[in-house]
Structure 1
Amino acid sequence: MVRIIGILIGLFFSGWLLVSFGMGAKEYITNPPAETAEHEFHLEAKEISFSSDGPLGKFDRQQLQRGFQVFKEVCSACHSLRLVAFRNLEEIGYSEEEVKAIAASWAIQAPDIDPATGEMSTRAPLAADKFPKPFANNVAAAAANNNAIPPDLSLMTKAREGGAPYVYSLLTGYQDPPTNLPKANQPGPGLHYNPYFANLNLAMAPPLAVEDQVSYSDGTKASVDQMSEDVSAFLIWTAEPKLEERHQAGWAVLAFLLIATILAYLSYRTIWADVKAKKKKKVTEA
């Protein structure tokens, strides 16, 4: 009796869920939700390619160094790079001495503890240190950035849909709001219109606004597009510094699998050739 009651209750709830689903589906079809301004004005990331794209992609180390220069002179004032150490810069072409010099000259001091008193102190960063945060904590970061906390950039090209093209599009996408933008979506005080951002307005002012904002050491013309592309490429590296090794390992695995498959097929042919010959012999003798 208890089992029957349980079955009936289960059928009741299953039927109710089915009816609710059907009613919801009917409502969605007959009265679809109206698109918001975010859907109407939001743009997909621009099409742009990087040397690291594709299974054969490799980093352009000269571009990575230019991108690091943009990060150092512009982005590091607000954004952290907490998963990258100064010594990792050797992977993009800097020498050990250059890395030490970069760390020692970094504008932000690294946190430390005074061995004599045990109190918190600061010191010049070392090559082994991670990049220091530009703000002591989130409260200080929000206070300096219109109540918005600048995100860490270490994994930005992995964390955002669209990856590096999204970062590039965001940096080059600042513009005046269109005249038909609803009043509710107009950028308020301290906000800036950018159709590549999810809700169209963000607190970050255009970080790369004028040409030659950075003076590239290799003589490359520092246009806004060039600086945006270079720093986006640099952030691809920070998010996946072992990308080239992964590509190489992938091709090695594919080559191994191909050779193993060929050897397995040849072994199969050899083994079954003997079996078929023996069967044929037995049939002939019979």
Structure 2
Amino acid sequence: MAAAVAVESSTQFQEVLERAKRSLVVVHFWASWAQQCLHMNEVITELSKEYPNVIFVKLEAESVPEVSEKYDISSVPTFLFFKNCQRIDQVDGARAPELTKKVQQHSETTKQDLDEQLGKLLNSAPCMLFMKGTPQEPRCGFSKKIVEILNEHNIRFCSFDILSDEDVRQGLKVYSNWPTYPQLYVNGELVGGLDIVKELAETGELEKTCHTEMRLEDRLKALINKSKVVLFMKGNKALAKCGFSRTIVGILNETGVEYETFDILEDEEVRQGLKTFSNWPTYPQLYVNGELIGGLDIVKELEKSGELLSALKGENAS
């Protein structure tokens, strides 16, 4: 990001936090009449160049009073640090060295968290395609073509829509040192993009490269363990495709606990296989530490009894 985002309303502020997901967000509460604020705006412009994965925000404290009051902003400049929509740190005053130090510290922690997530994603299936859109609805010509090639050669693969997660989209470029999409991985290792997959197909090497058949049971185990909390649902967090899934997502979001989702509408093998694997016939299904918690009714019961948060933390999951 080349410069700070100017936020002019509480709604826009909340949208920035929600879009950021796991990214570090640094918000400068400032005033146009304060010379030291103008100086610190220059500082964050420079920091935004040095830390492109950090989202810097400028918010005039007096112009958006509801946000300033919510976070008890009593003077300017004040800098608040957010991650996962939660305030995690603060710097008061025009203290450029301290601001720079905290940006560095928190961005390093965020990068470690993202690298861990990317590692899990890469290994969530033997053959993983990171693309724009889904195999059923590709969102660019390159993604459409690579899906066609894989299907023509009967390559079994799972996919991740990089348009659904900006952190993954940008982070994977750095993680694998590969600047474009789509990207194909086998056993967690990068194969390459469309050109390389085309070449492998033309030379007859594609089937050999992607010959990583995994038993369905092993694949299901890998999926339910890809994160501490995993929800198998219809759709995803941003767009649930049934009322039960929409309700359970709302409940989980209220807890503030991080969780991953898997869209069972995109993989019929997983959709049918997981029912037998866990002896649970319906969706959504919620797993913690690889163990089934249950569906919507159980989650509602846990919420009502006050036990949901401890269950999500694995304290009473069985």
User: Quick check: TM above 0.5?
Assistant: no
Q: Which structure would you say has the larger Rg? A: 1
Q: Greater share of strand residues, 1 or 2?
A: 2
TM-score, normalised by the number of residues in structure 1: 0.22
Q: Greater share of helix residues, 1 or 2?
A: 1
Identify which of structures 1 and 2 has the higher relative contact order when contacts are C-alpha pairs closer than 8 Å and 6+ apart.
1
